[in-house]
Amino acid sequence: MELIKITPDKKRAKSILNMVLLIEERIKNENKVKFVSLIICDYYEIIKELITAILLIDGYKTLSHKDLIDYLSENYKEFSEQEIDLIDNLRIFRNRISYEGFEIDKDYLARNENSFMQIIKKLKELVLRKIKG
């Protein structure tokens, strides 16, 4: 895992949290049948950015999305192996969507959206606790 040590940055983490709220608002207004692949990308973006905020508060940054997920897995045991696997699968799907034009079946979103929202809720609570603490 390649992490770069930086000065902890709660201000940037707060800015990321504000951007996450905007992306969540966009998801709520999207057609979940027509834009399923874009919504999957948005859920991944939210999760990635929240993990980035955690690293910033902890005094690290990385250029690797995989390292973000590994950092969360290794340092925050409140996230189960299933949740980490789901995040990593989102990363893979996002890459396929972005670089190959891959289309996600709407059933995937229907089956997993509650899990995405639970992970996001846990990440947001963690970021808020760390900002305050």
pLDDT of 133: 83
- 14-42 as b/e: b if 16+ CB within 10 A: eebbeebeeeeeebeeeeeeebbbebbbb
Please say if the pLDDT value at position 92 is more than 90: yes
Query: How many domains does the chain divide into?
Result: 1
pLDDT of 24: 97
Which whole number is the average pLDDT over 90-99?
96
**What is the pLDDT confidence band of residue 110, given thresholds at 50, 70 and 90?**
very high
Please state, in angstroms and rounded to a whole number, the distance separating the CA atoms of residues 121 and 83: 12
Q: What is the mean pLDDT of the chain?
A: 96
Please state, in angstroms and rounded to a whole number, the distance separating the CA atoms of residues 112 and 33: 14
What CATH number did the domain enclosing 96 receive?
1.20.120.330
Range of the domain at 53: 4-132
Which whole number is the average pLDDT over 80-93?
98
